[in-house]
Amino acid sequence: MLKLSRYVLYDIIRNKVIIAYSLFLFIVSFSLFQLEENDSKAILSLLNIVLIVVPLISMIFTTIHYYNSYEFIELMLAQPLSRSGILLSEYTGVALSLLSAFFFGVGVPVLLFAFDETGLALLFAGGALTLVFTSIAFLASVKARDKARGIGSALLLWFYFALIYDGLVLLILFSFSEYPMEKFTLLLSALNPIDLGRIFIMLKMDVSALMGYTGALYKDFFGSGTGIIFTVGIMLLWIVLPLWWALNAFKRKDL
């Protein structure tokens, strides 16, 4: 499995898309820190890229890679290798390559210009979202045999988590505005990894003071050790559960 993972990683690292992705992140991140006098403003600008671009690229690249590697996967299945080992090797190679691109493109500028609690929170959220949406992309790819359907499903899932979910949450909060919904919003944030990452980073930037009582509640919870453990635990669940579901589907899939 490790040998297969190294082969997949070595093959992807040389991919022009990964190189372009890492250079794009590096140029944008470095430029933002150079243009902004306040590092917090640069982090806030990078927040949009981490929450929108990173999940989108992770979803699209993973889905396309899976379908382009379909013949290679079939060849590996003809060998005395388990299906779980093959899919986990593919996941490990793709995830490590995307993480390497992210930590080079965003991590290096952040460590140079904003090596503090906020910068580390941004790197944690970006790395976690990379792994989460790589898992979700593998699930969408394994479930759909057709390439167009798989890519379409991945894009719809990204669209839901990035845009639609926030609209639904706002609708729920507006409809039940007469009731105390602060604690319920903690649960709602756990159902969307992008929202969870956004809240975690923004509270490290002390913007909770602009969010009233809800922001104070978030600050007390996510700023504590329990809140950090909660965030890490939920992110781990978002990584493991889609991948576990994809593994079960792949084992039963008739290739």
Confidence of residue 172 (pLDDT cuts 50, 70, 90): confident
DSSP state of 210: G
Classify each residue of 80-105 as buried b or exposed e, where b means 16 or more C-beta atoms within 10 Å of its C-beta. eeebeebbbbbbbbbbbbbbbbbbbb
The pLDDT of residue 224 is 63
Return phi, psi of residue 25, to 5°.
-60, -40
> 81-130, pLDDT tens digit by residue?
788 888 888 898 899 999 999 999 999 999 888 788 888 888 999 999 99
Confidence of residue 80 (pLDDT cuts 50, 70, 90): confident
> How many alpha carbons fall within 13 Å on the CB side of residue 88?
13
**Are 184 and 175 in contact, with CB atoms under 8 Å apart?**
no
116 by DSSP, 3-state: which? coil
Higher pLDDT, 153 or 167: 153
DSSP state of 139: H
The pLDDT of residue 68 is 87
Chain centre to alpha carbon of residue 159: 13
Distance CA 185, CA 216 (A): 13
> 139-148, pLDDT tens digit by residue?
999 888 888 8
pLDDT at 45 over 70: yes
The mean of the pLDDT values for the chain is: 82
> 174-194, pLDDT tens digit by residue?
777 677 666 677 777 788 899
Confidence of residue 12 (pLDDT cuts 50, 70, 90): confident
The pLDDT of residue 216 is 54
Chain centre to alpha carbon of residue 147: 22
**Are 227 and 221 in contact, with CB atoms under 8 Å apart?**
yes
Distance CA 12, CA 104 (A): 15
Helices (H) and strands (E) in the chain, counts: 14, 0
**Are 197 and 162 in contact, with CB atoms under 8 Å apart?**
no
Share of the chain above pLDDT 90, in %: 28
pLDDT at 209 over 50: no
The pLDDT of residue 221 is 62
Confidence of residue 200 (pLDDT cuts 50, 70, 90): confident
Distance CA 136, CA 153 (A): 10
The model's pTM: 0.89
